[in-house]
Amino acid sequence: MEHDMAVVAGSDWVIDLGPGGGDRGGRIVAAGPPGEVARATEGRTAPYLSTALRLP
Span 1-56, pLDDT tens digits: 789 999 999 999 999 999 988 888 889 999 999 999 999 999 899 999 999 999 97
> Phi and psi dihedrals of 9, rounded to 5?
-60, -30
Residue 48's pLDDT is: 96
Residue 29's pLDDT is: 95
32, containing H or E segment: strand 27-32
7, containing H or E segment: helix 5-9
Residue 16's pLDDT is: 95
What is the C-alpha separation between 10 and 23, in angstroms, rounded? 29
Question: What does the DSSP 8-state code read for residue 13?
Answer: -
Residue 20's pLDDT is: 85
